[in-house]
Structure 1
Amino acid sequence: MTLKELRCLLAIVDAELNVSAAAQVLHATQPSLSRLLKLLEEELGFQLFVRHGRSLAEVTPAGHEVIRIARRIVGDVANIRAYAANVRGGNSGDLLLAMPQIYARHVLPSVLSELVRRYPRLNVHIQTTAEGESLERQMLGSGDMILVSTAGDGVPPGHAIPLFTWKRVVLVPQTHPFAHLDRALTLPELASEALVTYEASRRRDSSLRRALEQAGLEARFACSAQDAGLIKAYVRAGLGIGLVGELAVEDEDCETFAVLECDPALPECVAWALLPPGAVIRDCALQLIQLLAPQLDPQQIRQVLEDGKRPLWPDPLPWRGGATGPAGAGAHAHRRPLPRAMSPGAYLG
């Protein structure tokens, strides 16, 4: 039995028994994962999954126990490696991050550039996730950190660290009647137009739909996507007005669109870093958190992880965009100083 076989097993489980999806996560082929799973089952002497034809249908009772133990083993090995890297002051190894497209494309590039400058032999792996994707399933993975967004009340479960706040803005073509407004777009105006926005906004429990319903309004969706670049393309094509995170607004967008603030009734969003329970955090991961949230003390973060207590974190700083990150100066005229962070909670949508 090898760690490679156990990681293969966990990847298949975390991919909801989709071997092809698990192979993509592990940068392997489907036949190689099927072969590793077969070797593991042959050594154990029983099947870990119920099969329907060539597909995996469900985990067997014995499989659930093996998976539980495998998670502990793989997690313990990862903790030993993280501890060893911290002790020797190593600047190499893999850093596994999971996050929505908006963070991977618009927040992380300049931040990771600085992190890799400090850790030149660091190998960063980024897995993009969908907003609203099952957080519980993500937290079962073997990554070092997950970035998520919330809007509303409450706090994500586990070791959740607030990083910065950001707002949603409306993109309309320069020829649209709204383009000449010098104020925030109201909820009735937002509901009067066909919306092009994130897929998560379609969910009944999304913060967008809740805000509209509380005002006696209903959203009308023309199109939705996971990537802000696609949303902009569909707005340019005339499908409707766009609703995106201000993180995704770039300088060239202001030449194509009028960028409008939203009604304050649409709650502000908070970016969180989620750390796996029971994990030893590496120095490079702490450095990444501090680059994203300079108001945080790395030693306090490490102490919180060791004690397991929920702390009173400093208020997250408002996003300012550009290469300087959350605390930098804003690049776009529509970016005004944001209010202090609201109580974060319901997953963004």
Structure 2
Amino acid sequence: MKLRQLVYFNEVIDQDFNISAAAQALFTSQPGVSRQLQALADELGVDLFTHHGKRLIGLTEPGQEIAVLVARVIQDVQRIEEVADSHVNAERGGLVVVATRHAASTRLRDTMMRFCEAMPALRVRVFEEEPRNASAMLRAGDADIGILTEPSERDPELAYFPIETWRLLLVVPKDHPLSCGAEVSLETLGRYQICSYERTAHSRRIVEDAFRAAHMTAPIAHALGSSAMILQYVERGIGVGIVGEASFEPESHPNLRGIRVDHLFRSMTTDVVLPRKARLRKPVCGFLDVLAPDLNCVMIANALAA
């Protein structure tokens, strides 16, 4: 039998026998989970689950006994990795994290604060890069962890784990006509100069695509390098801004108002990206525990090996 089969079996139990939910948690397909469960049952020569039609509803008697042993095996695998990682020297214990602009200024920023408090002796280096450069660093082994916003191309040498969905926000001065409370349309927004990110930013392409789909040209007059610069331009009345929702803190900008525009621009996801060939060292798992507690290192290791 294979460790992957045991991980899948354990996850199906944890997900109340919902194969679809287990597949989502394992970052794999529902048929893939079903195949691994069937292969495990065939190899053991016993039925593991009770059924109602095609739906799993519980464990058989041997399935219950096996489930206890499988849980122990998975715990022991984690302990084995911890023992090995405890002997990794200090130099190899460092971490290199590469992130796209939005992730670096929001999710990663907060994670770094908490992680440095939890593991002050561990050296962590952070690089902000465009998705293509970030992927190249991960492939080459120059970075351990990537935190990227919707890479346009999925590299087969890398594994992607969604951790966050986020939206764009329209930001205007409080006395601006768009702050009246009425829902903003593309036609109305198109009358104003927009301050947005640089041409290479994924969120800017989302804005341009929405206008293009409506047979309009996005009135982006100012392409700026950061959310902070966009907000400064808006505060000075140079235009209206479109930024990542988490980048706007109302208490820091009392003269500005954020307006939801998720009916105009689709939401985006942020992914943790890892090299498939890399071993999950203890510092990597520790960092991911802070960044995305829902990500389980055993499940990640299984997905990397798939």
TM range (shorter): 0.5 to 0.7
Amino acid in the other structure paired with 2:275: P
Cross-structure match for 1:175: 175
Larger fraction in helix: 2
Distance apart, 1:250 and its partner CA: 1.5
Deviations 1:273-332 (A, max 9, x none): 111231112222223223332322222012222x2x2xxxxxxxxxxxxxxxxxxxxxxx
Cross-structure match for 1:252: 251
Counterpart Cα distance in 1 of 2:203 and 2:287: 34
Amino acid in the other structure paired with 1:143: A
Cross-structure match for 1:123: 123
Task: Mark the CA change 1:145 to 1:204 in structure 2 (over 3 Å): closer, same or farther.
Answer: closer
Counterpart Cα distance in 1 of 2:204 and 2:116: 38
Question: Retained in 2: the 8 A contact 1:171–1:258?
Answer: yes
Gapped regions of structure 1 (runs ≥ 5): 1-81, 310-349
My pick for the range that moved more, 109-118 or 241-250, is: 109-118
Distance apart, 1:204 and its partner CA: 12
Task: Mark the CA change 1:265 to 1:180 in structure 2 (over 3 Å): closer, same or farther.
Answer: closer
Task: Mark the CA change 1:124 to 1:167 in structure 2 (over 3 Å): closer, same or farther.
Answer: same
SS in 1 for 2:220: strand
Task: Mark the CA change 1:135 to 1:250 in structure 2 (over 3 Å): closer, same or farther.
Answer: same
Question: Which structure has the larger Rg?
Answer: 2
RMSD, aligned CA: 3.0
Distance apart, 1:170 and its partner CA: 0.5
Question: Retained in 2: the 8 A contact 1:95–1:285?
Answer: yes
Cross-structure match for 2:143: 143
Which TM-score applies when normalising by structure 1?
0.57
Question: Retained in 2: the 8 A contact 1:83–1:280?
Answer: no
Cross-structure match for 2:21: none
Distance apart, 1:154 and its partner CA: 8.2
Distance apart, 1:262 and its partner CA: 0.7
Amino acid in the other structure paired with 1:117: E
Cross-structure match for 2:274: 275
Task: Mark the CA change 1:85 to 1:208 in structure 2 (over 3 Å): closer, same or farther.
Answer: farther
Matched residue count: 223
Task: Mark the CA change 1:301 to 1:97 in structure 2 (over 3 Å): closer, same or farther.
Answer: same
Cross-structure match for 1:301: 300
Distance apart, 1:203 and its partner CA: 8.2
Give aligned-pair identity as a percent: 21
Deviations 1:72-100 (A, max 9, x none): xxxxxxxxxx9996143778832111112
Gapped regions of structure 2 (runs ≥ 5): 1-80
